[in-house]
Amino acid sequence: MMKRFLISLLVIGMAWTASAQVTLYDEQRDAMAQIKEAVAQAQEEGKYVFCQVGGNWCPWCIRFANFVEQDTAVNRMMHDNYVYIHVNWSKDNKNPEAMRYLGNPARFGFPVFVILNEKGEPLHIQNSAYLEQDKGYSEKAVLEFLQNWTREAIETLR
């Protein structure tokens, strides 16, 4: 009796986990259209665009998105300075036009981050591995990265 109960509980738990799969990336979306919309929004808001390239299949992609959402300082820095988008790259939709436009960032693995200026020009491709710490991300490293690629930081160089 107890064995059946535990097996049933395990099956229910597995079904619930599968149904609760995170979907940050719209696998059907045309990434170039998404990028153009984000650039238009960034122009209106005086920001840059932060493209997180990856897919729903990528655990580190999910970790980074959760990190941005949960870490107050990172969340504030991201949303004050960037239009934050999730650009899909998956087996079924590699978005080749967008990947060429972004400088073929997949060569760095996933997730990979691409910063676009207010004109939509790629400024920087970041290998996310340099921002990792243990099984997550380093708040200090991510904040430093985000700060160094803000519109304000870049424009002071001009």
Q: Is residue 10 part of a domain?
A: no
Q: Please report whether residue 137 resides in a domain.
A: yes
Bridge partners of 88, per DSSP, are: 54
pTM: 0.86
The domain spanning residue 146 has which CATH number? 3.40.30.10
Encode pLDDT of 70-99 as tens digits: 999 999 999 999 999 999 999 999 999 999
Residue 12 domain-assigned?
A: no
pLDDT value for 1: 58
- Is 17 domain-assigned? no
The count of structural domains within the chain is 1
Per the structure block, which two tokens stand in for 98? 């967008």
Residues 91-127: tens digit of each pLDDT: 999 999 999 999 999 999 999 999 999 999 999 999 9
Write out the residue range of the structural domain in which residue 144 sits: 22-155
* CA–CA dist 67, 157 (Å, integer): 30
DSSP state of 103: T
